[in-house]
């Protein structure tokens, strides 16, 4: 391991230059005009992997290609780990917001600025360089590794599941490692062990067949905007609890261990409230705001539409009213059953004075891997060694659908070892990657293969953690 770490340290300058080359490619998956840049991006990754000594392949899909790259396979049954990342980036707009051009990387104040620096090129590049260190120093890798670097993460990963299914035999692995989340600070390297899921709904209530004169007809028919407001207002009570029967039935309670871990995060409600600019914080009673925003389910109204929205007044009873809702879900809730509960409840409480339509939108399952299991222990040990700090266990409020894809298709759990700092500006102008997170991430990755190699060799193949 010493040889590997020495190599990482000695070559860090070159790694940063190589990462800059990678960041110069405008691999914007959302924009058709960048289709050839996407192909060039995939080729760049594959060529880079080959130059490091990996066996790499650009795997075409009906969308943007996926790069698969394997470390040289050794005889005998060895633990297998898949490393996921994405070479596509968000559009850089608004361009006026950037202090230097998004695809002309530069280092300022210990941070590398460019679109894709944190999300996600810099993060998976740290893993690539750790593997290079093993290969170039002739140090035996304790696991067989496969990199899966896709080009459609920022547009929904539509074609990755198909690649995983088609190549399942060779992609089968003991676990997946993903660095595409965050760490609270350089002093707090983190393992993210849970993600929330989501269920989206659209509701429309319709009354009269047209907008009506409120003077002539008002008082004789129900106002759909009022009915919708009453329906929605009843869905969450004063204690911040969702009132839909059965909503909490499948919620996995936070363990004392998890609550202690969350309590270690440097969170302060007063500063958090000021940061958000809200007059006061609000949420489910009995939980801290950190617990509410990451480990408890929610029901949010995302948009409301009805009646006249123009200048001045217009005296009508609107014909209809609509709302868009999303529910953030936690283990073991499922989007399909939550949508069913919502539909049944809304039908039950909707008065006969309006017609109700409820449409389900997109959904994603929540994710949870035991923070006290052997895989987590291996990841925490690698974080501790890589960063020289005691790591924290965190949950993320958002969703990463492909994590559930890895579980369903490859039956493998994912370890989320994010290297993006809170000020990384992912998806915003002036995105950056902290170079200390890069070097700590490379060391963490180097230790991770050793830790996982030991842990996985001890357990029967393909058993869940
Ligand atoms: Zn992103």
CA of 76 to the centre of ligand 1 (A): 38
Whether the Cβ atoms of residue 399 and residue 199 lie closer than 8 Å to each other: no
CA of 13 to the centre of ligand 1 (A): 26
CA of 426 to the centre of ligand 1 (A): 7
CA of 395 to the centre of ligand 1 (A): 18
Q: Give the number of other CB atoms < 10 A from CB of residue 60.
A: 12
Of the candidates 441, 443, 446, 459, which has an alpha carbon nearest to the alpha carbon of residue 373? Answer: 459
Task: State the Cα–Cα distance between residues 204 and 316, nearest whole angstrom.
Answer: 18
CA of 439 to the centre of ligand 1 (A): 21
CA of 148 to the centre of ligand 1 (A): 16
CA of 146 to the centre of ligand 1 (A): 22
CA of 16 to the centre of ligand 1 (A): 21
Whether the Cβ atoms of residue 367 and residue 197 lie closer than 8 Å to each other: yes
Q: State the pLDDT at residue 267.
A: 84
CA of 89 to the centre of ligand 1 (A): 7
CA of 194 to the centre of ligand 1 (A): 18
CA of 292 to the centre of ligand 1 (A): 23
CA of 176 to the centre of ligand 1 (A): 19
CA of 119 to the centre of ligand 1 (A): 5
Whether the Cβ atoms of residue 19 and residue 121 lie closer than 8 Å to each other: yes
Q: State the pLDDT at residue 399.
A: 85
CA of 90 to the centre of ligand 1 (A): 6
CA of 169 to the centre of ligand 1 (A): 29
The alpha carbon of residue 328 and the mean position of all alpha carbons in its chain are separated, in whole angstroms, by 13
Residue 278's φ and ψ, nearest 5 degrees, are -90, 150
CA dihedral 220, 224, 226, 228 (to 10 degrees): 150
Q: State the pLDDT at residue 429.
A: 96
Q: State the pLDDT at residue 309.
A: 95
CA of 57 to the centre of ligand 1 (A): 24
Q: State the pLDDT at residue 456.
A: 93
Q: State the pLDDT at residue 458.
A: 84
CA of 456 to the centre of ligand 1 (A): 30
CA of 88 to the centre of ligand 1 (A): 9
The strand pairing partners of 320, in sequence order, are 206
For the entire predicted model, the pTM comes to 0.89
Q: State the pLDDT at residue 77.
A: 85
CA of 46 to the centre of ligand 1 (A): 21
Q: State the pLDDT at residue 464.
A: 45
**CA dist 229 → 202, 223, 318 (Å):** 14, 10, 13
CA of 264 to the centre of ligand 1 (A): 27
CA of 190 to the centre of ligand 1 (A): 18
Per-residue pLDDT of the chain (465 residues; tens, 9 = 90+): 999 999 999 999 999 999 999 999 999 999 999 999 999 999 999 999 999 999 999 999 999 999 999 999 988 889 999 999 999 999 999 999 999 999 999 999 999 999 999 999 999 999 999 999 999 999 999 999 999 999 999 998 999 999 999 999 999 999 999 999 999 999 999 999 999 999 999 999 999 999 999 999 999 999 999 999 999 999 999 999 999 999 999 999 999 999 999 998 888 999 999 988 999 999 999 999 999 999 999 999 999 999 999 999 999 999 999 999 999 999 999 999 999 999 999 999 999 999 999 999 989 999 999 999 999 999 999 999 999 999 999 999 988 889 999 999 999 999 999 999 999 999 999 999 999 999 999 999 999 999 999 999 887 654 444
CA of 183 to the centre of ligand 1 (A): 15
CA of 116 to the centre of ligand 1 (A): 8
Task: State the Cα–Cα distance between residues 150 and 161, nearest whole angstrom.
Answer: 11
CA of 73 to the centre of ligand 1 (A): 32
Question: Two tokens at 196?
Answer: 């929330």
């Amino acid at each position: 391991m010493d040889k590997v770490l020495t190599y990482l340290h000695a070559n860090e300058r070159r790694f940063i230059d190589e990462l800059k080359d990678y960041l110069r490619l405008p691999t914007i998956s959302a924009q058709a005009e960048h289709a050839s840049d996407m192909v060039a991006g995939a080729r760049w990754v594959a060529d880079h992997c080959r130059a490091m000594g990996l066996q790499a392949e650009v795997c075409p899909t009906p969308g943007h290609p996926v790069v698969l790259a394997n470390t040289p396979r050794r005889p005998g049954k060895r633990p297998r780990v898949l490393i996921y990342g994405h070479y596509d980036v968000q559009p850089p707009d608004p361009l006026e917001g950037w202090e230097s051009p998004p695809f002309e990387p530069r280092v300022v104040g210990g941070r590398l600025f460019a679109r894709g620096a944190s999300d996600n090129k810099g993060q998976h590049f740290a893993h690539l360089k750790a593997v290079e260190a093993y290969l170039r120093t002739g140090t035996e890798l304790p696991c067989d590794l496969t990199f899966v670097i896709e080009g459609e993460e920022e547009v929904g990963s539509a074609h990755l599941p198909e690649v995983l299914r088609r190549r399942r035999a060779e992609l089968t692995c003991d676990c997946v490692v993903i660095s595409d989340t965050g760490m609270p600070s350089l002093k707090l390297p983190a393992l993210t062990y849970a993600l929330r899921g989501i269920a989206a709904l659209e509701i429309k209530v319709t009354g009269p067949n047209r907008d009506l004169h409120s003077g002539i007809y008002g008082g004789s028919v129900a106002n759909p905007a009022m009915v919708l407001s009453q329906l929605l207002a009843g869905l969450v009570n004063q204690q911040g609890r969702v009132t839909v029967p059965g909503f909490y039935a499948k919620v996995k309670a936070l363990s004392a261990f998890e609550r202690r871990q969350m309590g270690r995060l440097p969170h302060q409600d007063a500063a958090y409230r000021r940061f958000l600019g809200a007059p006061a914080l609000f949420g489910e009673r009995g939980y801290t705001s950190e617990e509410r925003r990451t480990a408890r389910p929610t029901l949010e109204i995302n948009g409301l539409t009805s009646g006249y929205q123009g200048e001045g007044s217009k005296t009508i009873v609107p014909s209809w009213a609509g709302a868009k809702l999303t529910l953030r879900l936690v283990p073991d809730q499922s989007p399909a059953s939550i949508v069913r509960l919502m539909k049944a409840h809304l039908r039950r409480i909707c008065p006969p004075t309006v017609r109700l339509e409820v449409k389900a939108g997109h959904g994603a399952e929540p994710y949870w891997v035991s923070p006290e299991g052997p895989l987590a222990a291996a990841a925490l040990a690698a974080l501790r060694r890589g960063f020289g700090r005691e790591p924290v266990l965190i949950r993320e409020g958002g969703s990463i659908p492909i994590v559930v894809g890895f579980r369903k298709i490859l039956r493998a759990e994912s370890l989320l070892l994010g290297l993006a700092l809170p000020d990384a500006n992912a998806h915003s102008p002036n995105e950056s990657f902290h170079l200390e997170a890069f070097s700590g991430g490379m060391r963490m990755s180097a230790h991770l293969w050793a830790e996982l190699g030991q842990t996985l060799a001890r357990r029967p193949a393909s058993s869940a953690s």
